[in-house]
Structure 1
């Protein structure tokens, strides 16, 4: 029995051709290289062992190439399902991502409408109060000897009962003249003869250099501006000037 040296890849190929446990390398080569009649192909006699040895690598190489091709052929189909499965995995991940995003995203809340404060109405609504009638009684007015002091007393009572809205009387003006202000200087701008006087117990001033009829007209406008009814206005004015305008 003779020994020969072969490359590692040839040895691996021979080993891969084993059909049953215990089969030797000689048996494998014999099965692969020799025909059923037991004679070596291309050998003329037993005296040419070198030729048989030299001719054997070709089939082995061919078999190796065939085996490698077979392995590549078998490997190629295996990669196709993986390639096709990739989009499905990506799609599945995308679906999961979208689902997670949908769950994590809180639903949009409806805008909350803030209560808007109603604008302040500067106009004074008419009211049914007659409180000023009780304060501006005939007895109270009789304590004043001067008409101008009675005039100031009525304005002071009106301010006391309507301090929150008395500011509106500043809108009462005459021709080129201001009747009410919060300072003496503001009224003196209309002339030094306006004779401004302070309305008692209030921050307001009023011009007083006018006759009784003009004072009556001013009182009427003040009471109407503060929202008093016509009958209340008439009662107060008649007590201030019983003789009329």
Structure 2
């Protein structure tokens, strides 16, 4: 048994809930809190339940992430295999095509990833053209098709690949897919 201090109001509340002569404060509190009569089994059950609930809570999120990642991978694979992408000569159009596919497959993941991808002096992604143009006098931006985002476009081909790879890494896509994209922009 441990001793704790309680204020008068709380003491009177607990005492007023007494149902039988000789009932202890612990018994009264257990009844009011709907706890079992013996403390030891409850603690073990509670710890087990907490761990079980934590594990169960993780499962749907992991499944959702895997499903979302599969969706993004399929979308990127589709773009890489498309004749539209493979016949496109301009690097900027290939760049925009892949960015659009990434956005369409996972808008939330894309949005979060763009917050973490930027240069030392330039912003690569924004929700409006002016934000990107404000980072320099010779900056050019284009809207990513079928998305609310704009991207800086007057970088060399290799830099476009670096931007795409950084974005894909931030979206936690598989390294082998990132490497395939990097090879497209070397």
Using structure 1 for the length normalisation, give the TM-score. Answer: 0.47
CA RMSD of aligned residues (A): 3.5
Asked if the contact 1:133/1:236 (under 8 Å) is kept, the reply is no
State the SS of the aligned residue for 1:213. Answer: helix
Using structure 2 for the length normalisation, give the TM-score. Answer: 0.61
Asked if the contact 2:80/2:86 (under 8 Å) is kept, the reply is no
Asked if the contact 1:188/1:194 (under 8 Å) is kept, the reply is yes
Match of 2:91 in 1: 147
Q: Which runs of 5+ in 2 are unaligned?
A: 1-15, 21-27, 36-52
- Structure 2 residue 166 is matched with structure 1 residue 221: yes
Asked if the contact 1:170/1:179 (under 8 Å) is kept, the reply is no
Q: Which runs of 5+ in 1 are unaligned?
A: 1-99
**1:66-85 superposed matches below 5 A:** none
Q: Going by fraction, where is helix more abundant, 1 or 2? A: 2
Q: Kindly name which structure, 1 or 2, has the bigger radius of gyration based on alpha carbons.
A: 1
Match of 2:149 in 1: 204
Of the candidates 2, 25, 33, which is equivalent to residue 110 of structure 1? Answer: 33
Asked if the contact 1:148/1:208 (under 8 Å) is kept, the reply is yes
Match of 1:158 in 2: 102
Tell me how far 1:143 sits from its aligned partner. 4.4
Of the candidates 115, 136, 145, which is equivalent to residue 191 of structure 1? Answer: 136
Does the C-alpha gap of structure 1 residues 110 and 138 become closer, same or farther in structure 2, counting only changes over 3 Å? same
1:25-84: per-residue Cα shift (whole Å, max 9, x none)? xxxxxxxxxxxxxxxxxxxxxxxxxxxxxxxxxxxxxxxxxxxxxxxxxxxxxxxxxxxx
The runs of at least 4 aligned residues of structure 1 exceeding 6 Å deviation read 115-118, 125-128
State the SS of the aligned residue for 1:206. Answer: strand
